[in-house]
Amino acid sequence: AQKVTQAQTEISVVEKEDVTLDCVYETRDTTYYLFWYKQPPSGELVFLIRRNSFDEQNEISGRYSWNFQKSTSSFNFTITASQVVDSAVYFCALSEGSKAAGNKLTFGGGTRVLVKP
Amino acid sequence: DARVTQTPRHKVTEMGQEVTMRCQPILGHNTVFWYRQTMMQGLELLAYFRNRAPLDDSGMPKDRFSAEMPDATLATLKIQPSEPRDSAVYFCASGLVIGAGATEAFFGQGTRLTVV
């Protein structure tokens, strides 16, 4: 069964500090997909990134970067030079690629990030 | 700008009443998910469909919840009768799955349900 764990429930930082969100996943499939979503105070879930299990290359998008390590089953997310607008709940999610799994999306519990001015 | 549309955005109803939530997935997407979000349980998968056929609804209380896709442009989630513990935000999401590959799921803005 697939499982996603986000051990940090809440992180508070001062603007311009870097913040790293941890995500650990469990799966028996060799093909799977990892995602990060952002949920700002307005409530909608915004897609940030998707990573395939066969592509361990790290990715950077502006102030956001992601570190995927299959050896530790982790897919961590770093916000560099945080801003107040980054305040939100961030969810890590996993989708297994096997036919049995049906590509359903399983979410972690989320990490609330509070960026103070 | 393609997006998932959910209606209503907010619903307040009395215990025992029927509630119907609607979702219009993104055109061309073949997979539709229904999630429920509460403070205590987080994001729970209730049901999902592939090419309009239900794939898994094990997360849904069968006695009162039902999910359907009458056509490719409409997914519905019904609660009958509703109970106060059903109060939550219900999200619909759609995505495209081809073979073993999966795209990201795009979420609607959610329906905030309050049962009093």
Residue predicted with more confidence, B99 or B71: B71
Beta strands in A27-110 (DSSP E): 32-39, 46-52, 59-61, 64-69, 74-79, 88-96, 105-107
Q: Which pLDDT belongs to residue A63?
A: 94
Most confident of A29-38, A56-65, A85-94: A85-94
Contact B100 A109 (CB under 8 A): no
Q: Which of B50, B89, B103 sits opposite A43 (nearest CB)?
A: B89
Q: Mind listing the pLDDT tens digit for each residue in A9-24?
A: 999 999 999 999 999 9
The residue of chain B nearest to residue A104, with distances taken between CA atoms, is: B48
Whole-angstrom distance, CA of residue A115 vs CA of residue A4: 24
Contact B45 A106 (CB under 8 A): yes
Taking residues B26-37, report their average pLDDT.
94
DSSP single-letter state for residue A103: T
Taking residues B75-88, report their average pLDDT.
97
Q: Which pLDDT belongs to residue A56?
A: 82
Return the residue in B104, B107, B109 with the most chain A beta carbons within 10 A, the one to mutate for interface testing.
B104
Q: Which pLDDT belongs to residue A48?
A: 94
Taking residues A87-101, report their average pLDDT.
85
Q: Which of B31, B109, B112 sits opposite A103 (nearest CB)?
A: B31
